[in-house]
Amino acid sequence: MKEERMMILSMLKEGKINPEEAVKLLEALGDTEDDIEDKKSEKDKLIDMDKTKEKMGEFGEVVKEQGKKVGDIGVDLGNKIAKAFTNIKDDINLDGFLGNSEP
């Protein structure tokens, strides 16, 4: 009986079935009284796993958004640095600095 339950949990973990389907399959095994108590806690675990998957998906989206913002900040910072150096170059007479100025 435990082998079949492990197979069901494995299928759930692999995403082949959802938590509700897993519970139905576990119920179909015709558990004993002791197994019924275990199954209740298994059902709670399955529901928790499903909630955790949802939270991980939401977390992944947040990370993606934040990564994009960081990338945008990096591009903006790079552009500002390039502009600053361009302004500095324009403000300095490089010919005089390099000894190419006329007396």
Residues 6+ apart with CB under 8 A from 16: none
Per DSSP (E only), the strands in the chain are none
Q: For residues 49 and 101, what is the distance between their CA atoms, to the nearest angstrom?
A: 75
Give the range of the structural domain holding residue 82, as residue numbers without chain letter.
Answer: 2-97
Residue 103 placed within a domain: no
Tally the domains of the chain.
Answer: 1
In-domain check, residue 83: yes
pLDDT tens digits for range 47-92: 777 777 777 878 888 888 888 888 888 888 888 888 888 777 666 6
Residue 102 lies in a domain: no
Give a yes or no: residue 13 inside a domain.
yes
Share of the chain above pLDDT 90, in %: 2
